[in-house]
Amino acid sequence: MKVAIGYQVHNSENIALSLRQHLDNGYNFIVAPLVHPRVKKFVPYSDVFLGGSERSKLVVYIPKRDYNLKNNCSLIESEFNYANHIGVNTMLIDCPDNRVALKNLSDIINRQFVSSSEHFNEHQAPSVCIKVPLIPYKSYSSKWRDDEPDVDYDESWEKWNFIRMITQSHPKLFVALELNGDPIDPERIERWFGEPIVMALLSTSSFLTNSSKYPVLSKAYQQLIQKLNFKLAGNFSFVINGNNLHGHLKHYLQYINHLKSTDLFEDKISKFCLGYEDVLQIPLQPLKDNLDSLVYEVFETDDIKYQQYELAIYKAMKKIDKTDMYVILLFIPSFLSMINFLNCITNRFNSVAMVVGAGRGPLVEKALKAAEQSKKYVTIYAVEKNVNAIVTLDVLRDLRWGGNAGLSNGVVQIINEDMRYWAAPRKADLVISELLGSFGDNELSPECLDGIWNYVTKETINIPRSYSSYMCPVQSHKLYSQLLIDKKINNNPYDYGYVVHVRNAYLIDDPQKVFTFVHDDLTKPPNERDNSRAKTMTFRSKLKTVCHGFVGYFDCCLYDDIYLSIVPSTQNANMFSWFPIYFPFQVPFNVDPNDEIVIHLTRNVGNNSVWYEWTVQQPTPSKIHNLKGKHYSISLH
């Protein structure tokens, strides 16, 4: 957990002194206004001239105001300009209650973003954090009243979403979420986890007092913070505000630091994926490009995946039935005939496994181990087109796999060929591959396995046996706003699929199965197969939300009851070889509770490439994204 902790100073005429005092107490930054809350004209505190290192530790706070009033509009514009002038990185603005005031504030913020972009100093403009309460204040106060008013639990989110829409999901717009009252229902909390929260505000009154008179948080708050840390990958800050109620302000800091050090905030996958959270990446194209050694190395460290493969290979080898050679030997009349017969039957009675797309050999290792466990002797053909990976395979064959003589449980042959065009000397009993992508078929596993039809039989076992893609609509300001930055380089960033370690996102509905490929019989030639697919999916929203695209997953049956999955409800724990895939919509759209979201997705196969096209049919029809694979396609060559 790498969060920073700040303290909110509501009124200090000497900001520099206040900052140093709180830094001495252990806080990382302060939140403070530039002007006195009651002033009507912009007259900044005299001592706001901070050093370079100090400026990054000041967040400018702008309290709640009525932006129906022209004076308040002028005041915040002056604060924006002055904050930019003195080099402040972040501004925290308390969201107004009035709808018209909200519109005026949104327009002011949008003008600031547009102005900084036009003057080519967008990177220097301060980020804007909108302060909204987790629980609407009306709800928080109603529990103390007999006449409970009607409470709109979506009010805070709707205000934030209104500003977001006006500013077109600007990448410098963020949420500062005030953790007030008892946590609301889980679904609404999940929706907040799809927003760009960079600050979590905790009032000193939210802390309980333990037997030692120190501040602590309730179990409900601890669980909320744990989930917040996971969804935001630790990329947020705490802000403590309010009067000191527990002896010393540093006690709140010490308690949060204690939480940061507990196992409650550890997660194994984060260690392997650190730095990749919510970062958009173009998917690999293994047929077009040779993977480098580092990519192989990362994939090979996934113990869970290879444990599942080893178990599946073991079960498949136990299933392969070969005639008992020792009974037949009784009928051999001479020693010479016996030698000839032994040479002849070697091909017939040894199991033949073909690891296609062998990479640097992890599945070869698993096949040899499975052969030993199942008391089989196996001939393994490791087929790999990457000439650089072949070098590693040759070394492993000599040093670990017994060279030409092989091991007691098998021998390995290295083949530097594209699996689709290799003229195999024998038929395979078992074909093993790891050609799956984040969406199952998006790295062209179907097309690759179609090409091995001439060295399999109807009895050949294929691992994996089958795989399916899944998808669901997603709300993720963070994923979508990155495309606004990419658009300056790529004019069509919305027509691509992106591999991404999804964290800061809200799944609007449960994932549904899309396309399935089954490899029970691989003997049909490619010209008799059709790997194109099309499906229309209907989802339903539980809450008001905004849809930024859809996220894709896959699961696969390796063999029998051995599965791999990255689908959230069935995923293998601690497996990290695959991140989900994100397909954006160019124009995000608002969704009301119980609205149907209808998405049409096609998988298209051409002579040279495979590509996806996607479109929204309801509630707001969209263009066909990536029409004819113009921008994003997966090469077959």
What's the rounded Cα separation, in Å, for the pair 229 and 430? 44
What's the rounded Cα separation, in Å, for the pair 426 and 290? 27
What's the rounded Cα separation, in Å, for the pair 136 and 188? 12
DSSP secondary structure string for all residues of 297-330: HHHHT-HHHHHHHHHHHHHHHHH-----HHHHGG
Q: Which of 443, 447, 528, 596 is catalytic?
A: 443
What's the rounded Cα separation, in Å, for the pair 250 and 22? 9
What's the rounded Cα separation, in Å, for the pair 179 and 328? 78
Annotated binding-site residue? 319: no
**Inter-CA distances, 525 with 214, 312, 444, 451, 605, Å:** 73, 26, 16, 7, 16
Please name the residue that has the structure tokens 């006690």. 251
Round to the nearest angstrom and report the end-to-end CA distance of the chain. 44
297 is catalytic: no
CA atoms within 13 A on the CB side of 335: 0
Q: Which of 190, 310, 434, 613 is catalytic?
A: 434
For residue 79, which of 68, 94, 99 has the smallest C-alpha distance?
94
Annotated binding-site residue? 470: no
For residue 502, which of 171, 229, 278 has the smallest C-alpha distance?
278
**Inter-CA distances, 170 with 55, 88, 121, 122, Å:** 23, 19, 15, 11
Annotated binding-site residue? 418: yes
Strand-pair category, 466-475 with 512-518:
antiparallel
Residue type, 225: I
Annotated binding-site residue? 537: no
**Inter-CA distances, 331 with 83, 343, 349, 350, 605, Å:** 96, 16, 17, 20, 55
Bridge partners of 60? Answer: 32, 91
528 is catalytic: no
| Residues in the annotated binding site | 296, 305-306, 384, 418-419
| Residues in the annotated binding site for S-adenosyl-L-methionine | 296, 305-306, 384, 418-419
Catalytic site positions: 434, 443
